[in-house]
A and B are shown apart, each in its own frame.
Chain A
């Protein structure tokens, strides 16, 4: 769910208030918008896609992250290049072309039917923990 609006990047355009399909944000007169109803966030990433200055970070987890998670730390997110990544993948960033136009779906969809083929890796080690995930 939405976790971060970067105070450094946000330009108070309030586009996120407008486009969020579940009305998570509130505009604030003369200030950045706020995450007013985090519990309503459906983790659809569209505020990230629309934000013109890559100020939003939607964590992929549908519950709030634990305090102390790296993904709540704006500096860490910038260093890990995680702000604006979805917009880049869509080709919605400035000067880019939509990646929909180089969508190789035809070839891909053709290979989606039939046998998926053998496992191409050695058997996995037992699963330990994903605690490092958040």
Chain B
């Protein structure tokens, strides 16, 4: 058992809506829940405004005018890359919602650049630090109470299984808090497995674990092996500028077939045996001038290390971004982004992004649009749910749903056991030849290791004091890896980012989603889709005619 004083609740808050996570999705959810009349608490593991993938970066936004031709090509552009698992109805909803909401950022002081020729604001890109700084101000102005450095440790559920709040840690004070709420929005991000990809070490899959402990399902967890290019030894996984890069071997010869968008596998396969180098040598001088203020963070490594990326070769690596740039996440069951658990909603990277991206990366502009839209829907939905419950929400009995890392079934292990657990998971999910290039025997071998890690952690893993959340992060990563690989095992084909070396082709029979869940026993299930793949158009027909 833990120290009795360790778990005393020092702060007890009563709210209508609890939002877990202060990135884009969480801040949009909090603002909209407050506008709907709910009393809102937002808790962030780190600091609302600097936490997460967006604050540290910059992002495009899938912001497309409601003009038939433009909308159609926006939808069509990624449909085939995404293995036709995206849903056109959801794409329309997200495009409409994003179009309606982005101008609100301007009202709250975001300085969109203005087009020299038209005099109109250009709203297709956001600089992360500025965007999130203003989102924090907006949340505070809306009357939302913010708790920073306050990781959730578990959800609270009532006797009927509804989520009624959460219990967490104020880590800088090593004190526990509890929030009782009529509805909870998980906007806790994806899982990048502490890989140090830019801004993502707060994204350890916590929300997936907490939701699964309350009985929620995940969807598309096989689409979880996104890797991004970075200068070797750095954190800066901004990939836009590699569009103009050439990749080389150490002897200065071009690495044929390597590229940022389509040739990433070539880079990964080469990196298994030898280093890969890069030079951004296809960009004209005009565009070069524009770069430093476009994504200032991209240039941090080069400026500080004294490298000119336009003339010097520099070594590159591929860093795992897991489900942050993947599309797997919590399954949502209706238009308000509710999960299947009453009182629990999911938004942003915590939710699956297959609805708009299918099997191909949701990173960048799609994720940004999804965070805004799903945040708005989940925040509004949570407020409606909570306000309908009225006072009954606060009288419901609450029980902590947490398992591994919080309530060991056996004798607790050493206080730093979480480190070993994390190292074990990383050893199974980071190597390209395990996660990027998947095979049946490889996935099974990893699952043996991961299942064993879960069983051991269940018995002995316990977080203590200020570090209580670290054990839960470790548990969440093991759970996430198991859902990923179990899902990857049953998708016996190559579709989108899920690449099976033993099944290199797309199998039309597997045009479905894969659901997963469970803790001690992980399960998967097939969810059929309500639409079919449209017949191929012009190009294949011409090829047929030529034959």
Given contacts A18-B148, A104-B113, A126-B252, contact A45 B297 (CB under 8 A): yes
CA distance A105 to B368 in the complex (A): 15
CB within 8 Å: A-B pair count: 191
| Interface flags, A12-56, vs B, CB<8A=1, else 0 | 000001111111000000000000000010111110011000000
Contact check, B49 vs A82: say whether CB atoms are below 8 A apart.
no
Contact check, B290 vs A104: say whether CB atoms are below 8 A apart.
yes
Contact check, B303 vs A101: say whether CB atoms are below 8 A apart.
no
CA distance A50 to B251 in the complex (A): 42
> Is residue A79 contacting chain B, with contact meaning CB distance below 8 A?
no
Contact check, A121 vs B311: say whether CB atoms are below 8 A apart.
yes
Please, which residues of chain B bring their CB within 8 A of the CB of A17? 172
CA distance A132 to B292 in the complex (A): 23
Contact check, A99 vs B304: say whether CB atoms are below 8 A apart.
no
Given contacts A46-B55, A123-B252, contact A82 B304 (CB under 8 A): yes
> Is residue A73 contacting chain B, with contact meaning CB distance below 8 A?
no
| Interface flags, B240-256, vs A, CB<8A=1, else 0 | 10011010101111100
Q: How far is the CB of B201 from chain A (nearest CB, A)?
A: 4
> Is residue A133 contacting chain B, with contact meaning CB distance below 8 A?
yes
Question: Which residue of B46, B110, B293, B299 contacts A20 across the interface (Cβ within 8 Å)?
Answer: B46
> Is residue A67 contacting chain B, with contact meaning CB distance below 8 A?
no
Please, which residues of chain B bring their CB within 8 A of the CB of A126? 250-252
Please, which residues of chain B bring their CB within 8 A of the CB of A78? none
Question: Which residue of B149, B287, B303, B313 contacts A82 across the interface (Cβ within 8 Å)?
Answer: B303
Contact check, B110 vs A120: say whether CB atoms are below 8 A apart.
no
CA distance A105 to B279 in the complex (A): 22
> Is residue B138 contacting chain A, with contact meaning CB distance below 8 A?
no
Q: How far is the CB of B257 from chain A (nearest CB, A)?
A: 15
Contact check, A61 vs B233: say whether CB atoms are below 8 A apart.
yes
Q: How far is the CB of B199 from chain A (nearest CB, A)?
A: 5
CA distance A121 to B311 in the complex (A): 8
Contact check, B56 vs A44: say whether CB atoms are below 8 A apart.
yes
5 nearest interchain CB pairs? A21-B46, A101-B111, A89-B296, A105-B125, A60-B301
Chain B residues within CB distance 8 Å of chain A: 45-47, 49-52, 55-56, 60, 110-113, 115, 122, 124-127, 129-131, 148-149, 171-172, 196, 198-202, 231, 233-236, 240, 243-244, 246, 248, 250-254, 275, 277, 279, 281-284, 287, 290, 292-294, 296-297, 299-301, 303-307, 311, 313-315
